[in-house]
Structure formats: structure tokens, C-alpha cells
Structure 1
Amino acid sequence: MLQAILDSAVSAILAIDDTGRIRSVNPATEVMFGYRADEMLNQNIKMLMPEPYRTEHDDYIGRHVKTGEKRIIGIGREVQGQRKNGSIFPIHLAVSEFMVDGRRFFSGIINDLSDRAKLQDEVDRQSLLFETVFEHVPEALVISSPDGKILLFNPAATKIFGYDVAEATGMAWANLFGNPESLPQIEFDISRSIERAPDVILSVMLRRKDGSSFPAEGIITQVVDQHARPSVRVSVFRDVTETLKNKEAAVKSQRLEAIGQLTGGIAHDFNNLLTIISGNLELLEEQPLREQDRDLLDRAARAADSGARLTKRLLTFARRRHLAPAVINLNDQVRTMAELLRRTLGDMIDLRIQLASPLWLVRADAGEVEAAVLNLAINARDAMPEGGTLAVRTDNVVLEEGETGLEDSLKAGDYVRISVSDNGIGMSNDVLSRVFEPFFTTKPVGRGTGLGLSTIYGFIKQSNGNITINSEPGVGTTVNMYLPRCDEEAAQHDETLSLATEPHANGECILVVEDNRDVRQLTVNRLKRLGYDTVECASGVEAKAALESGQQVSAVFTDIVMPGGMTGIELATWISARLPDLPVILTTGFSDDAAVKSEADTFWPILRKPYTQKQLASTLRATIDKKAARQTSLRD
């Protein structure tokens, strides 16, 4: 029976004498170490040991025999064994001592711990992995007990909530929530998650150590044991303050872009109407009129001019107005308008101007910069009915990636900032969300058009800059305009063409291409008043056909945006290729995208509606004479 027990034992069982030689082994020993029994019998037990156990083993036995000291005998310990193939593996060795016929023997029971070692390695690996994730995950990771006490608090959580680990450990998990009324529902959802979905996903307001609240998204997982009882609660939170801000900015940007497209189209149509109105009024001015009729005519002309200024502001908001950018120093612009600002603001408002020196240069339309500052100053004045302080500042700023403007993240780089600040009544968040929309105003009826800030917005965006506005009711408002730094030197202004006289024709014939019948008829009448013969076409395709048929003209005056399959740009391009000596002048209600993309200003002069007869006469005469002079120089 004893032999049967030894043969069937899972553990390796062997016996050695007091010299360390192996006297018996069971089958499990052969399996464990890879030796046959006859290879082990009468061999020193050291053959089954790696260093340093192999060298030290005989000393252990000798010392025990002499002194009775027990290092392993009757105790058991974890050591290492060595197989026949040389591999080393962990074992648990239990040694006992017995006497047979007065001679001392030792028995050893050995268990292979390889599987346990592998399991421990996996546990260690998983622990290291958890520790790495716990320490470096960017979201706040909070592990709490079933009774709601925080057990673990990762570095991201300390950064988001403001508690250090010692403060958070043992603190109530519920203290992290900014709205206590939401907790019962959250707890209910967590309790139901055990039976249904494993996770609870929520959007919630959380609270920092300093008491401030912030929006967050979270995933809460209830971990249960084998009996389906709650073990720990794992909460992952992410601060979505910047995400919501960017989303709100994107929505605002899309809304303003849609309004801009609508506004630009309306302004373009109005420019056509104003061209007809102002042009015909100009023609009427040349007629003999009674004094009272001339007064009516002057009033109508002034109204048409006001309409033209209104459409310019609409086009600026829509970023479709043709600007005249130049390299300028914003300090110069502020200095030149300081006295105007003081007169505009009045005695009750203290104007403070702070100009950085040296200030980087920018490329912008100087007139639009001055109009923007003046508009902001007027708004600030109206926001301080009892008086106050208005500050205009300039400074150089370097923006980093991720800084947010009105719509989106500001492009990193060097900028010049011009700020207008007041300590007036300020604005609510609802007003701030719409402040740059055209026609939106909080002023009484008749006090404002609602186009001031929208015009500034359009000008700044068209200049590749950005704008921010900060306001708080009862505290005041600050508007920051950012314009990109320009490394060019400020250019000298060219003398503008004098429009005091109207150059007339020298027997030339002009091809007028315009799809709007009334605008076309007005243009023809104007040209005839200047002494030009005219040929009319209602589309680019019709004009092309006329030129291909041999129609002789001295210049082509064409609208840019026309139906019929050929724009004015396309017609001008065709003429440049087929009839390079024929001058082309373009006209448009705004700087159309096609004109911008084709850099039309570089190749052909453009008259922007509504234009005066003097502008038409001067541009036409200069273009024809310039072309003629070039042809003469080529012949010479």
C-alpha cells in the first residue's frame, strides 16, 4: 500500500542517506526533473539543484549531523530545482528525518511552483499596468468603496479637483459633485447598472476643492464580487469646459457665416439698385432744375450715399468688401484720432491711451482700424451714461496654440493687439452671444443700426486676425482686436488720382456687358454723356460672340457676376488670350470670391458699385491710355 501511495503521488518524493546520496525516487520525481530513476539512484542529491544550493548542500547535512541545526528539516521552504535539460524552476521543499536500522535518512517532498510563479508574474504585470494607467491617464480616475469613501485618487484627479491624495483618501465620493440634487438619481442608475448595463454614462456638474463648479462627462462602473455584491466603484471624469466652449464657438461661427452669406448677397443686390439710383441722380444734376427741385435732388443723393455706406458695412461684415490694406503702425492710428476720441467721448469720460513701444507693424486698412476704434469708443460712451474711464491700449502679443478667440482657437504666432476697455454697465451672456450679429443692438430705437460690431468683426476676420470680447454686468467690457504681425516696412502712400474733372472720350467705342437691364442702360447713358459710342451685351457669352464676329471696340466694361455660363472674369481671361491689346475694366457689387481667387485686381482694374460718373470717366480714360502707351512703346 505504501508503494502504491508513492507511485500515485503528484508530488516528487525521494529519500537520501546522511551522505546526500539518493536512495529512492517515485515516478513523479522522474516526471518533474526529467531523469530516469536509474540515473538518479546513488547520485548526490546536488544533481537536482542549481547554484548556490548545490555547493552549500553537503555543508547543511554535515552541520545538521554534528550539531542538530535545522535549516530545512521539518520546516520547508521555497528554493529552486534544476531539471536534466538544465532549466531552473521554483519548488517548495519539505524535508523530514527518519532512522532505519540505526542509520539516518532524509525524505524530501517537492512541489513544482512554476504555475504559481507564472500566475504571480501575471499578477505583477497586471499591477504594473494598472499603476501605469492609473498614474498617467489624463482623465480623473477615482476608486471608492461601496459605502462611498474614496480609496484611490490618481494625479489627474488631483489636478482637476484640487485635492491632494491625502485629502481625497477617505473623503466622501459625493463631495465631488456640484449639484447634490442629482446624486439620488445617479445612485439609482448605478444600482440598476448591476442588473443591466455595466456602466453609467453621465454629463454632470462637478465641484473643485475651492468650491467652483465645472461641466464634466463621466463613466461610473460598479465592480461586483463573485456573489454579485458591490466591491468597488470606479469613476472616470473628464473636464469638458474647453470642449463646450469650442462647440459653442463653432455654432456661433456657423451662425455668423450663414448670416454673412445672406448679408453679402443682399448687399450685392442693393449695390446694383444704388448704382441705378445714384447714377440717374447724377444725370439729373446736369439738367436745368428749379431751386426747390435741386434741393429734393440733393436729399435723394444724400440718401443714396447713406445707402452706399450701409452696404459697405454689410459687405465688411460678410468679409466681401474690398479693403485697402497697407503696412501701418497702430500707434500712429491711435495718436491721429486721439483728439477726435476726446471730442466724441465728452468731458464725463476719462480717456486713457497706453501705447506699447516699440510696436510691431501690421498690414491692415488704416481707415477701417480707425473706424473700429471710434465705433468701440462710441459704444463704450453709451455704456457709461454717468461717466467713467475708457482705455485704448496697444501691445505686442505672442499667442500659443489653443488660445480661444470669438469663434475658434487663435492661430499661434505674433500679433499686435489693440484693446478698448470701459468700466460701464457691461453685458450679459445672452447679449454677448449675439453681439457680433448684424442689426442686433441693445440701444433704443433710432440710436443704433446694430452694424458697428458686426462691421468690426468682418474687417478683423478679413484681415486674417481675430477678436475677443469680455464683459461682465456692472464691471465693464473689453474688446481685443488681434492683427497678424507684418515684417514688411511701412510703404509711402501713393498720390491718388484726382477726380476733379471728368476725362472725356476721344472717339472710342465701349462694349458694355451687364445682365441687369437698368444698370446696363445707366452705364450706356453715362458713357454717352462722356462722348463714348457703346455696344451692349446682356451676358459674357453674348459679348464673346460679338467679339468673335469681328465687333470693333476700344475697351470692354463688364460686370463680374453674370448668369449664362460665363462670368466677367472668364470673359476678361478669354480676351487677354485672344485679344491682348483690348483693355478690360471689371465692375462688381463686392469683391467676389472668383475675383479674389483669380487676383483680378492684378490684371484688370475694378470699379466697385456704386461708383460715380467721375470714377467711371477717370478709370476708363486711364485704362485706355495706359494700353495705348504700352502698344506705342512696343512699336518703338
Structure 2
Amino acid sequence: ERFRLITENVADLIAVFAPDGRRVYHNPAYQELLGYAPDHPRPDVERFHQVHPEDRKRIRAIFADTLRAGTKHRIECRVLASDGAIHHVESHVSALRDESGRVVNVLVVARDITERKRSEARVRELAALVETAHDAIYVRDLSRHITYWSPGARRLYGWSADEVLGRSADELFYKADTPELLAIRQTVLEKGYWTGELRQFDKHDRELVVLARRTLLRDARGEPVSILNINTDVTELRRLEARLLSDQRMEIIGSLTGGIAHDLNNMLSPILMGAELLGLASLDERSRKTVEAISTSARHGTALVRQLMAFAKGNDGERIVVQIAPFLAEVEALLRQTLPRTITLSVSAAPDCWPVLADATQLKQILVNLCINSRDAMPGNGLVSIEADNILVDAALAREHPGASPGAHLRIRVSDTGSGIPPGVMARIFDPFFTTKAPGKGTGLGLSTVLGIVKGHGGFLEVESEPGRGTVFRLHFPMLKIEPDVAAPVPVTRPVASGRGETILVVDDDPGIRELMRALLTQQG
């Protein structure tokens, strides 16, 4: 009677089986879960029918061992309810003995663990998703120490789980604890979540941009225990967006610059022609020097206009087949007259360099511009190198540079051992009129002109620099697919012809230029 009172008032399933496997007793909890009523059809002849077919062989062996040796077993198996539902149970199997110690029955005390098994399955599914996710997933406690590190986190940041578990996440990813990080942490604690972009550093000190999602995790009592972090690498996406915005900005500025250059040219042309007319007249020494000063200043202005036009229309100019080895020899001769003796110049080209179709004057201009910048970055001594070789640009590299195409390219590498470019300046070096030089020492158009010319030739440009370790520019130009035998035109100097009373129609929208042109032509007969 005492046994019955106990078994009928517990939540666990209790059943007693005879040595032949007949179920001779079960409590109400057993009946409630599995649906077997006391008067279930022929309950005295059931033989493990309530056990899942896939588990019956194992259960029969355990039952036999308990009968034979009296061994206690703790097992998990699946059982079938009367309606066909499957339940997972955790069972303790033991022998019931008579007064002589002989095993007469088998006692099974079981607990329903179906929900636990479902939860474990969900956890395994989630774990599998986490293990295969491309995102970096990690958990840190409220003291900022990492307690979980996914394979995706290892792939993104470079550290293994053994290297980071127990370490401070902020010390790994950031150079310093900033007010922004403190504010984000406070937001997570107050609101339970935060989403935004962060700049972090990986194991190799490479800067990353990540889309970060942070969620506060709580225990069963609702108390905060840790923070779940899911970070998506958007470094490449943001870099391409920045490059695209820069290209769009350059196009807009180029259009504006072209208009300004045209107007400046219209203003400078009358000054130059007027100075030439005055130079033909008989002037005293003082007046002659004044005219020369006017002419010199105007010519400087026209040189600036040419720079502006080269920036605005980088693809203008006469294209010829340029063989890089003899071309670089000309550039080297020019640079040896330009660079101070304290700077070592090294120029080389691979013997099989492909030709390119290019404006040789513009190519020379951009190489000289880059070398002049290198000179200015090395006030003492140093090394400037120009190297040329072939490279096959794949689709991945071409995608990084809008307007570029995969295929064979000529690569010209200009490097120096100068002071380098600070990270804060690097993002602006191609902006027109941006310069770090003292007032009057530069126009800020050098690198923007270089970029405009390279892109105008269908190429692209890469730059690497580190303060104190120099700068490297890599210029890529598409290889000439057909190699016609085209030689560079030889400039011919002809004497200014004198007129014989012909009539010439002068057309210009600027009255000043028309008048001065008329005067010059009249002067020449």
C-alpha cells in the first residue's frame, strides 16, 4: 500500500515487468504520458511493444542483463504512446528480488525528456549554422572577456579560439578604449541591442570595417550575463563605395575645372598676344622688361591651364605605340637633369614588356610628377625607382577599380624611400587642389592629373604608403592588342611665314582675342 501511494503521486513514469517481459504494473504518470489504461487490451501479454522498434533490440539486451546479473542501468530510449506519438525517456532499470535474493521482476523508473531532446536538437542545428556561418560570431561576458569564438570569427580576424578565449575583446580589436565604445556598451546594457559599423583591427593589424550586431543575453532570472556579437565584414564593400564616390566627385570636379580652364585660357590669350605685339615694337629697356614680366606671368598661367585641361580631359592627346624600354630611357635622361645628386635614380624594364597605345607626352608628365613628389618627400637623400613589367589583371582585381578591364596590362611601378603618406592624408591625395606643401609650393593638381591621365588611357592606379617607409605607385595600362608599325612623329620646326596680302577670316567668341589676332596677322603681312 505504501509503494502504491508513492508511485501514484510522483511525476516519474514507473512500471514493473515480469521476467518474460509482461508489464504487470504501471503508475498513473505512465498511463498519462503513453495513454495505456489499466484495462488496455490484453496488457498482460505485451512484450516491449511500447518501445520504439529501432531501440527494442538494445532494450531487450539490457532487460536480460538485469534479470541475469541484477545489473542497474541508466538508459535513454524512445517509447511509443498509444496514439503513435514518440517520446524520449531517461530510464533507470533495476532488479526487484524476493526474500531469497532471486530476481523476480524488473523495475523501470523513467522521466520524459522529449522537450530536452528537442531543445538539444535545436541547439545542434544552431551550432551547425554558427560553425558554417561566414559572419564572425563571438560571445563575451560583461567584463568584456571572450567566452565563445566561432570558426567565422577565426577566418575574419585570424585568431584561433585558444588564442582569444578569456581575453578582452576590446584589447584585441581596438587600439584604445574610446568614448564611442563605452557608449555602445551602455546602449546594449540599457536597450538590449545595438547595430552599427565599427572599425576594428585583425591579428595582422589590418583595419577592417564590420557591420556589428550586439545583443544582450540574460539568464533564466532575466539577469544580464553576456553579449552576443555578430560581425559582418563590409571592408571591401565600403572601399568600393568610397572609390566610386571619389570617381564621381572627380568627374564633377573635372567638368567644372574644364569650364574654368576654358575661361582662363580666353583671359590669358589676349594678354599673351598683346605682350607679343608690344615685344615687336621699339621699347626702352624698362618697358621691355615690363613686357617680358607680363609675358612670363601669362605663360605660367597658360601652363596652369594646360594642367587643368589635362586633369579635366585626361584622355585627350595623340596616341602612338609606345615601346616602354626606349621611352623609359628618355624619362631617365630627363629626370637625371631634374633630381638632385643626393637622390639615387633606378630605372628598369623587363625585356618582354608589352607596348601600349598612349600619349607619350602625358605618360612622361605623370612619371615626372610622381618623381617630383618623391623628391619632395626626401629632403636629404634617398632612392627613387621606376620599374616596368607585364601583369595579367584578373576579374577580381578589375572589379576593385571601376572602369578597369581584365586582361594583359603593362605595369609601371614608381617607388621611393621617402617619408610616406599619413593615413589621414591618403584618402585625399587625388583630390584636385589638395596639397600638403607650403603655400606657393604646389598647385595640388599633380596627383589628380596623374589619376585623370591613367584613367583616360583605360588603366587604373594603386598606391601603398606607410609613414617613414616610403610610397609605391603602381600604374596599369592595357596592353596594345595589335602592334602596328607606328613610330612617334618627329616634330618639325618651321620658320614663321610672312603674308602676301591674303585675306583671312578670324572667328572667335571673344572680341579681345579677335582684335589681337587681327593685329598679329596684319603685323605679319
- Give the alignment's TM-score, normalised by structure 1: 0.62
The one of 406, 410, 422 aligned to 2:416: 422
Is it true that 1:482 corresponds to 2:508 in the alignment? no
1:142 aligns with 2:128: no
Distance change >3 Å, CA 433–CA 492, structure 1 → 2: same
SS at match of 2:327: helix
CA distance in 1, matches of 2:251, 2:426: 17
Alpha-carbon spacing, 1:188–1:498, altered in 2? closer, same or farther (3 Å): closer
SS in 1 for 2:317: coil
CA distance in 2, matches of 1:63, 1:138: 49
Q: Is the contact made by 2:88 and 2:117 (CA closer than 8 Å) also made in structure 1?
A: no
Q: Please, which of 164, 167, 172 is the counterpart of residue 168 of structure 1?
A: 164
Aligned to 1:397, what secondary structure does the other structure show?
A: strand
* More deviation, 8-17/259-268: 8-17
Report whether the alignment pairs 1:358 with 2:352: yes
Amino acid at match of 1:142: Y
Aligned to 2:123: 126
Q: Which residue of 2 aligns with 1:596?
A: none
Query: Aligned to 1:417, what secondary structure does the other structure show?
Result: strand
Corresponding letter in the other structure for 1:478: V
2:343 to 341, 349, 356: 349
- Structure-2 separation of matches of 1:77 and 1:112: 11
1:518 aligns with 2:511: yes
CA–CA distance in structure 1, aligned partners of residues 64 and 134 of structure 2: 61
Q: Deviations over 1:527-565 (max 9, x none)?
A: x98xxxxxxxxxxxxxxxxxxxxxxxxxxxxxxxxxxxx
Q: Tell me which amino acid in the other structure corresponds to 1:157.
A: A
| Displacement after TM superposition at 1:153 (Å) | 1.9
| 8 Å contact kept, 1:30–1:36 | no
Tell whether the 8 Å contact from 1:280 to 1:522 is kept in structure 2 after alignment: no
List alignment gaps of at least 5 residues for structure 1: 530-612, 614-636
Say if 1:13 and 1:110, in contact at 8 Å, map to a contact too.
yes
Aligned counterpart for 2:308 among listed residues 308, 314, 320 = 314
Cα distance change on mapping 1:171 and 1:108 into 2, 3 Å: same
Corresponding letter in the other structure for 2:369: N
Q: Deviations over 1:313-347 (max 9, x none)?
A: 21111126622223322222112333232222354
For 2:243 and 2:62, locate their aligned partners in 1 and report how far apart those are by CA, in whole Å. Answer: 79
Find the counterpart in structure 2 of residue 152 from structure 1: 148
| Shift of residue 30, structure 1, vs aligned partner | 10
Say if 1:317 and 1:454, in contact at 8 Å, map to a contact too: yes
**Structure 1 residues 36 and 339 mapped into 2: Cα distance closer, same or farther (>3 Å)?**
same
**CA contact under 8 A between 2:269 and 2:513: conserved in structure 1?**
no
Distance 2:150 2:33 in 1: 48
The answer for the alignment partner of 2:365 in structure 1 is 371
Alpha carbons of structure 1 residues 347 and 523: separation in structure 2 relative to 1, 3 Å: closer
**Could you say what secondary structure the match of 1:455 adopts?**
helix
Task: Report the 3-state secondary structure (helix = DSSP H, G, I; strand = E; otherwise coil) of the residue aligned with 1:358.
Answer: coil
> Which letter does structure 2 place at the counterpart of 1:117?
T
After superposition, the C-alpha distances for 1:450-472 in whole angstroms (9 at most, x for unaligned) are 44333322211211222344445
Matches within 5 A, 1:600-615: none
How far is 1:270 from its partner? 2.9
Change in 2 beyond 3 A, CA 1:317/1:191: closer
Take 1:458 and 1:265, find their aligned partners in 2: how far apart are those partners?
16
Distance in 1 separating the partners of 2:18 and 2:465: 94
* Aligned mates of 2:259, 2:225 — CA distance in 1: 64
Which residue pairs with 2:318 in the alignment? 324
What code does the residue aligned with 2:34 have? M
Match of 1:263 in 2: 257
- Determine if the alignment matches structure 1 residue 456 to structure 2 residue 458: no
Superposed counterparts of 1:91-490, under 5 Å = 113=112, 116-117=113-114, 119-133=116-130, 135-173=131-169, 175-176=171-172, 178-179=174-175, 181-182=177-178, 190=185, 193-194=188-189, 196-201=190-195, 218-237=212-231, 249=243, 252-253=246-247, 255-274=249-268, 290-292=281-283, 307-319=301-313, 322-400=316-394, 412-429=406-423, 432-441=426-435, 448-472=442-466, 474-490=468-484
Cα deviation, 1:234-264, whole Å, max 9, x if unaligned, reads 2345667656655665565455444323211
The Cα of 1:266 is off from its aligned counterpart by 0.6
Give the Å deviation of 1:81: 4.5
Question: How far off is 1:351 after superposition?
Answer: 2.2
Q: CA deviation at 1:409?
A: 9.7
Q: State the 1:412 CA deviation.
A: 5.0
Cα distance change, pair 274–121 in 1 and its aligned pair in 2 (3 A): same
- Maintained 8 Å contact 1:368/1:459: yes
Shift of 1:448: 4.7
Which residue identity is paired with 2:307? R
Equivalent-residue separation in structure 1 for 2:54 and 2:469 (angstroms): 80
- Percent identity between the two aligned chains: 24
Contact (CA 8 Å) 2:70, 2:95: kept in 1 or not? Answer: no
Q: Flag the 1:442–1:407 CA change in 2: closer, same or farther, 3 A.
A: farther
Counterpart secondary structure, 1:395:
strand
Task: Decide whether aligned partners of structure 1 residues 497 and 33 sit closer, same or farther in structure 2, where only a CA change above 3 A counts.
Answer: same
Aligned length: 513
Which amino acid counterpart does residue 150 of structure 2 have in structure 1? N
Q: Which residue of 1 aligns with 2:42?
A: 40
**Deviation digits for residues 563-587 of structure 1, max 9, x if unmatched?**
xxxxxxxxxxxxxxxxxxxxxxxxx
CA contact (8 A) 1:352 1:390 kept: yes
Higher radius of gyration, 1 or 2: 1
1:620 corresponding residue in structure 2: none
Offset at residue 120 of structure 1 (A): 0.6
Q: TM-score when scaled to structure 2?
A: 0.72
